[in-house]
Structure 1
Amino acid sequence: MTGDVRMRDVSADPELACSISPVLDIVFSRWTTPILWTLHTHGRQRFVELERRIAPITPKVLTQRLRQLERDGLVVRTYHPEVPPRVEYEISALGLSLRPLFAHLTEWAENHLSSVEQAREEFDRRG
């Protein structure tokens, strides 16, 4: 076997079977999308501003997600050594590169969510 993904047995590795799985884990894990959307829409923000805009997220969860997003390169954290210290978060260039994806998802939602709701209602009636 070579290092070429096409030559590997994809049934042995779920990530190879669905190459977008890592992307889904990064971008669509709980709270990630609202955080990125808020930073994209409102620009650079302090922690408390984010927390207020993304209620009911808890401070602990917001801290964890921001750290992960910073680690993934999607968010930039800036520390200002003032008294009191100030920390701001903003979406990175890499995070902004997700804009077309979110635009497509928004378009899909506008065009198809009513169909999903209708299908759910029909399914529940058969129930």
Structure 2
Amino acid sequence: MATSARRGPYFCGVDAAMDVVSGKWKSLILWELHEHGTLRFAELRRGLPGVSEKMLVQHLREMEEDGLVNREVYPVVPPKVEYSLTEHGVSLNAALEAMAVWGQERIERIGAEKVSTEAV
């Protein structure tokens, strides 16, 4: 569907969707919550090796603002916070599944090409 009208800050749906999942960790956070359901912060961090606490906090806040992630705070000591996907997060994750299949089918080739270009 081609259109010349710009909708808000975006040119098209792909532009809007990529903005919401931009950054290395957002799509992986979505996938982790999809695979494991509701998770606490430490559980999410363990499931995403390499993510810093600062980056995970930042991405979770942005994803909550974008309506992808629900943050549930329980009034207990010590504090208990759980994260889960909203309806919008579930639907975006469904769209990411096609990308996951594409990547899985090409993972060896993509990895080999990345290694060969890094060696140069």
Tell me: higher relative CO, structure 1 or 2? Use CA pairs within 8 A at least 6 residues apart. Answer: 2
Q: Measured at CA, do residues 6 and 107 of structure 1 come closer, stay the same or move farther in structure 2, by a change above 3 Å?
A: closer
Please report the TM-score for the alignment, with normalisation by the length of structure 2. Answer: 0.78
Name which of 67, 73, 93 aligns with 1:99: 93
Number of the residue aligned with 2:23: 29
Q: Which amino acid aligns with 1:67?
A: R
Counterpart Cα distance in 1 of 2:38 and 2:86? 10
Q: Deviations over 1:57-109 (max 9, x none)?
A: 11111000000000000000000001112100001111000233222112222
Q: Which amino acid aligns with 1:59?
A: E
Q: Which amino acid aligns with 2:16?
A: P
Counterpart Cα distance in 2 of 1:48 and 1:110? 27
Identify unmatched segments of 5+ residues in structure 1.
none
Identical-pair percentage? 34
Q: Measured at CA, do residues 47 and 114 of structure 1 come closer, stay the same or move farther in structure 2, by a change above 3 Å?
A: closer
Name which of 48, 53, 67 aligns with 1:54: 48
Q: Measured at CA, do residues 84 and 111 of structure 1 come closer, stay the same or move farther in structure 2, by a change above 3 Å?
A: closer
Q: Which amino acid aligns with 2:93?
A: R
Please report the TM-score for the alignment, with normalisation by the length of structure 1. Answer: 0.75
Counterpart Cα distance in 2 of 1:87 and 1:79? 5
Cα RMSD over matched residues? 2.7
Q: Which has the larger radius of gyration?
A: 1
